[in-house]
Structure 1
Amino acid sequence: PVWSVGCGILGASEAHLSLWTILYGALLMFLIGPLVLGMGQSINDYYDADVDAINEPDRPCAKYPKLFKKLALTNVAVLSLAAMAIAYLAFRIEIFYLVVAGLLIAVGYSMPPLRFKQNGWIGNASCALTYVTLPWIAGLLAFTQFDTGTDHSRFCLRHRI
């Protein structure tokens, strides 16, 4: 996802190499990588803790299941709130919407009854959206307007979705 953000930034015609571009891009990479996708990993750990405890009995989820689930949910809450706050305060509203979409897809990937990962098509599509497409669009949006009639949007739709 971090590289996808970088590709979006490089594709933005208004992104000039400067300290501001590097710092703003790094903040976006931090937002998408550790915060949004970290939340997705945590919610997946929460819902898969019982299966992981059976398959890997030496993991903390097997030794301390209640504590593990509590910490996973705390991590989900902290990362989600931090991601939405940074997206709302530091970036355009469209990037905030992309972050919220990424968080919702991550929850749907693991949470019953949706559990996108049980269906190969839906699970893979949700991974592609959250790991490649949404971060790339966010990188592009950080430095350029994303009008549906532009070459940027046509290129994005043609090659990523």
Structure 2
Amino acid sequence: MTVSALTPRRYPEPRAMLRLIKPITWFPPIWAYLCGSVSAGVPLGGNWPLVLLGMILSGPIVCGMSQAANDWCDRHVDAVNEPDRPIPSGRIPGRWGLWIALAMTGLSLGVGSLLGVWGFWATVAGVIAAWAYSAEPVRLKRSGWWGPGLVGLSYEGLPWFTGAAVLLGAAPRFEVVVVALLYALGAHGIMTLNDFKALEGDRQHGVRSLPVVLGPEVAARIACTVMAMAQALVVAFLFVLGKPWHGLAVTLLLLAQFAAMRVLFRDPKGKAPWYNGTGVVLYVTGMMVSAFALRGLV
């Protein structure tokens, strides 16, 4: 082994910094922000700068910041679950993980201020939620109910609301808020399935995720029930709003998810990553269908 291999790094590895903010996690808030922009009913042609800035803020900046904060606060858990992650592996040494998270917190607030009053205060709410989820003494991720609920609200409901509010320059319509909240509720199930990958470390460090407390089989059924019920309520709401074709489209997407759920239930722990690439795609497709239904109400 060379001397350089034995010497701890002084500065973060650039590739590890990118992995720290996890680009793969940016899609849900970006997509939700776009859904919110569509649902506002405002012409998008002349507002693309605001839409694109909001999508960048929601994904790479705020979501990236939340991932950096989570990895810093979870560095001991990750040393058990995934020791090759940037912080426990030493590729991001010392307190650099914390400094990156704090710097991105400041960047989030700065960029959020460019989106007006609604955009700024929504960013403040997102930043608070990110740190409340991961950091002591609050650390809501210890709860299998409150943790996924907060993430679902932050990843789906808050960006949707913000996308609409920024374009409107005012609070979105009641119908928009209802649909955003329903999809945020359903995202609780998505986040529960995401907890399957950290079972061993969560057990050792007292994180009471639903897969830890109830076991993978029961947790998977609860997650899928929550996702399905939220979408069923969306379908009913769309029919009430006089959008039957959009409601039918979301129904078909939900039926396709039922087929994927049957596969998931055969091996919840092993199939959770597969379901995130199939059933969740169908879920977020229904989000955009619903956004266009709301847009048609204006």
Aligned length: 157
Partner of 2:111: 86
Contact 2:50 2:115 in 1 (8 A): no
Describe how 1:12-91 pairs up with structure 2 within 5 A: 12-14=40-42, 16-18=43-45, 20-64=46-90, 68-88=93-113, 90-91=114-115
Between the aligned partners of 1:157 and 1:55, the Cα distance in structure 2 is: 32
Counterpart-to-counterpart distance in 2, 1:129 and 1:152: 14
Q: Which residues of structure 1 form unaligned runs of 5+? A: none
Q: TM-score, normalised by structure 1?
A: 0.85
Contact 1:42/1:73 (<8 A) preserved = yes
Spell out the pairing of 1:99-138 with structure 2 (5 A cutoff): 99-138=123-162
- C-alpha distance 155-55 of structure 1, shift in aligned 2 (>3 A): closer
Amino acid at match of 2:44: L
Instruction: Give the letter aligned to residue 56 of structure 2.
Output: F
TM-score by length of structure 2 reads 0.48
Equivalent in the alignment of 2:38: 10
Gap regions ≥5 residues in structure 2: 1-28, 186-298
- 1:3 deviates by 0.6
Structure with the larger RCO, 1 or 2 (CA within 8 Å, 6+ apart): 1
Counterparts of 1:3 and 1:131 in 2: how far apart (Å)?
9
CA RMSD of aligned residues (A): 2.2
Partner of residue 98 from structure 1, selected from 122, 133, 142: 122
Q: Distance in 1 between matches of 2:112 and 2:88?
A: 35
Query: Percent identity, aligned pairs only?
Result: 31
CA contact (8 A) 1:146 1:152 kept: no
Summarize the Cα distance change of 1:32–1:54 in structure 2 as closer, same or farther, 3 Å threshold.
same
Name segments (4+ residues, structure 1) moved above 6 Å: none
Task: Tell me which structure has the larger Cα radius of gyration.
Answer: 2
SS at match of 2:138: coil
Deviations 1:34-54 (A, max 9, x none): 111111111111111122123
